[in-house]
Amino acid sequence: MRKNVVIQFALATAAILLLVGYQFFGSAGGELAKIRIATGGSSGIYFAYGNALADMLEKRMNVPVTAIQSGGSVDNIRLLKDGRAEIAFVQNDIMTYAYNGTNFFSTEGEFKDFSAIAGIYAETCQVVARREISSISDLNGRRVSVGDEGSGTELNAIQILGAYGMSYADIDVDHLSFGASVSAFRDGKIDAFFCTAGVPTPAISQLAAEGEAHILSVGDAHARSLISRYPFYAQQVIPNGAYPGIDGEAETVAVKATLVASNKLSDQAVHQILKTLFDGKGEISKIVPQGDDLNRDTALEGIPIPLHPGAEKYFFEK
């Protein structure tokens, strides 16, 4: 009799655990009973932010959580698509291309099986140039790094140049990674480079402190023209003092770093992820300054794709 009671208790406990797993992950005991967060390169903000979030989620949701190092936004969309991640950090312009099957995703076609969770901070389009270069128009004839070929930074560069009536025909183009761009600038091999990242970006701070670099503004009329064509952009000001040795503001544009999720992740899981994220804002801010930018009032700005139902529940109950 006692043996039967023990067996019944064990079966009931297992059923409850399976039900909890199903509620959170949409798969009772299946491969989604864990969370994998696609981030970015090991020296970037996505990676640091993702690891901080992973630590919090693992403690508070009591499930295994892994932050995956990746090639960034485009790679992260493909990790979601292939079922190798449940959550990803992406630029809002890249997620728009993926959802509509344009630009990087024109060959493979649209990908609809993911949704937005929240915008977390502005990724500012920064055009770093030598002091004698005063405007983007002055890049004409100069040697400029536009980021890795096929990267989100390169598309930002093409679109910003286009707002000035310029193209690659007007500059001497280099396709360098961010780290290689910084090194080439320091060595005098390039005159300027494009970077899309949170402010302050540590490597740009170092260049500014060395006295060679400043940030070019995207003029108001050019910014508005850009936004009219590409509504995922927003006007952004880099404030005075953001970088050492650079006086005055720089007006530019920004895209938004956004968390997205596979549609296989349940509403309950996404709701709990958002609650953990916003409740733990202070912990994240200790690791990455961009954690301070997390704000419920602005978290839904710049999101042109559907919001995950779990995110809708979280934001609209607030």
Look at residue 11 and tell me whether its pLDDT is greater than 80.
Answer: no
Look at residue 248 and tell me whether its pLDDT is greater than 50.
Answer: yes
Share of the chain above pLDDT 90, in %: 77
Distance CA 241, CA 252 (A): 16
Look at residue 41 and tell me whether its pLDDT is greater than 90.
Answer: no
Angle between helices 92-100 and 152-163 (to 10 degrees): 100
30-39, 230-239, 259-268: which is most confident: 259-268
Look at residue 64 and tell me whether its pLDDT is greater than 90.
Answer: yes
Q: Look at residue 149 in the predicted model and tell me its pLDDT.
A: 83
Share of the chain above pLDDT 70, in %: 90
Distance CA 194, CA 205 (A): 15
Q: Look at residue 40 in the predicted model and tell me its pLDDT.
A: 87
Tell me: the pLDDT tens digits for 109-163?
Answer: 999 999 999 999 999 999 999 999 999 999 999 999 999 887 889 999 999 999 9
Look at residue 3 and tell me whether its pLDDT is greater than 90.
Answer: no
Instruction: Return all residues near 304 (Cβ < 8 A) that are at least 6 apart.
Output: 92, 96, 99, 231, 232
Lowest-pLDDT range, 6-10, 35-39, 158-162, 257-261?
6-10
Q: Tell me the CA distances in angstroms from 277 to 57, 67, 136, one per residue in order.
A: 8, 15, 38
| Burial classification of residue 295, based on how many CB atoms lie within 10 Å of its CB (0-12 exposed, 13-18 middle, 19 or more buried) | middle
Region 267-289: mean pLDDT is 95
Mark residue 22 as left, alpha or beta (left: phi above 0; alpha: psi -120 to 50; beta: remaining). Answer: alpha
Tell me: the pLDDT tens digits for 79-102?
Answer: 999 999 999 999 999 999 999 999
Region 17-24: mean pLDDT is 43
Mean pLDDT score across all residues of the chain:
89
Phi (first) and psi of residue 88, to 5 degrees: -150, 150
Instruction: Return all residues near 112 (Cβ < 8 A) that are at least 6 apart.
Output: 99
Q: Please report the domains of the chain, with CATH numbers, ordered by start residue.
A: 2-121+257-317 (3.40.190.10), 124-255 (3.40.190.10)
Model confidence band, residue 19 (pLDDT cutoffs 50, 70, 90)? very low
DSSP state of 307: B
Cβ contact 106:99 at 8 Å = no
Phi (first) and psi of residue 295, to 5 degrees: -150, 125
Supply angle C-alpha 215, 295, 101, rounded to 5.
70
Distance CA 248, CA 242 (A): 9
Tell me: the pLDDT tens digits for 153-162?
Answer: 999 999 999 9
Kindly state the tokens that stand for 318: 């607030």
Q: Look at residue 188 in the predicted model and tell me its pLDDT.
A: 97
Model confidence band, residue 318 (pLDDT cutoffs 50, 70, 90)? low
